[in-house]
Amino acid sequence: MGKPIALVLHPRDWAVSDYGKTSALDIRHVSIGGKVPKKRRGVPTFDGYADMATMEGMTACREAVANLKPRIFFYWMHGDFTPSFLLQLKRINPQMKFVHWFGNHRHKVVGNVTRYKRTLDMLFLNSEDQRQISMYKRLVPKVYTLWDGFAPNEAPLKEVEPEYDCFFGGNSYLGAVVGNKKLDFPGGKIRYDFICEVNKRFKALVTTGYPRFWPFKTEPEVFHPHYTQCMRRAKITLNVNHFPTLKRAYTRRTIRSIFARRCHITLYIPGMERDFENHKHLVWFRDVDEGLDMIRYYLDHDEKREEIAWEGWKLAMKKFTFRERLRDFEKYVSVFLR
């Protein structure tokens, strides 16, 4: 009897890596974006996260479910990915368990999860906040923490001379909140204030999918592996979570920043001292002024800045690779294989 099959849309690395072949699962990958990725606001989305579902990709997925009879179907938040499609897969293989990796933080259950509740068997969040976990358990019985990972071979770090002081890749939703009172981004103001001040005082590169919400010139959003390359263009990478009170809430930005091997400066995330040492692996701050002071200090101290970049990268290689995430995944989904 062979290994139980897990069909994954992301991460592809589990299916193609040497470590993936040693898994207790027979991991197969299908690209929901197909061979030719769609563009989102003019930018190709072929990165596993931002993939927009295509007819080609969904057809390949249906065929894989029919032919392989997987025990587990593991998917991310893909654009143009509908509940009706998941119901089709459920009809093809009624015994298959659906596991969703939800990579956003919220203070209330959002449509991405609500729409899929008829098929969802397990949900992964990228925070350890019990308020958030309890909230989602009202819809999905099994909810666990699974942080993002990284495949170093997918984005080799090129030795380039930084042309910017700071890099931030992300959106400001303050304008959107004004137009839609249902939106809730409690960290929106400190993110806006901080990044605006950074742009005034330093040479900053900001990439975004919504340039109209930043009051300065930005560059278009980019996706993996180009996101890592953009980070390498600056001496310091920045992060401000939109939900700054959630415990150990590590977004893709956090993980990708330390893998980029640049000094990472972030708004404090509750509980992050369990995973990082301040001023060794990264630098955290608690308000705008402190954050600006930290940027100035580490721009003026090249050797200390580079030490943090290297120590953060070494820690990431130990704790935040997709290899580590596969071990966590196997542990949680083993309940479906007994």
| Cβ(15)–Cβ(43) below 8 Å | no
Instruction: Return left, alpha or beta for 314; rule: phi > 0 is left, psi -120 to 50 is alpha, else beta.
Output: alpha
Query: Which residues, in sequence order, are bridge partners of residue 284?
Result: 266
pLDDT under 50 in the chain at which residues?
Answer: none
- Per-residue model confidence (pLDDT) at position 147: 93
Radius of gyration of the chain (CA): 20
- Per-residue model confidence (pLDDT) at position 79: 76
- Per-residue model confidence (pLDDT) at position 196: 97
Q: What is the pLDDT of residues 125-148, one digit of tens each?
A: 989 999 889 989 988 989 999 999
- Asked if the domains at 5-148+322-336 and 152-319 fall in one CATH topology, the answer is yes
- Per-residue model confidence (pLDDT) at position 183: 67
- Per-residue model confidence (pLDDT) at position 116: 85
Task: Decide: residue 159, CB within 10 A, 0-12 exposed, 13-18 middle, 19+ buried.
Answer: exposed
DSSP 321: S
- Per-residue model confidence (pLDDT) at position 38: 67
How many CA atoms lie within 13 Å of 327's alpha carbon, on the beta-carbon side?
7
| Cβ(86)–Cβ(98) below 8 Å | yes
Domain boundaries, the chain: 5-148+322-336, 152-319
Task: Decide: residue 74, CB within 10 A, 0-12 exposed, 13-18 middle, 19+ buried.
Answer: buried
| Cβ(74)–Cβ(8) below 8 Å | yes
Name the fold adopted by 152-319.
Rossmann fold (3.40.50)
- Per-residue model confidence (pLDDT) at position 77: 76
In whole angstroms, what is the distance from residue 304 CA to residue 256 CA?
20
- Per-residue model confidence (pLDDT) at position 104: 67
Sign of the CA dihedral running 148, 165, 175, 39: negative
DSSP 188: H
With a CB cutoff of 8 Å and minimum separation 6, the contacts of 298 are 235, 236, 263, 265, 283, 304, 305, 308
> Among the CATH numbers 4.10.410, 3.40.30, 1.10.12, 3.40.50, which is that of 5-148+322-336?
3.40.50
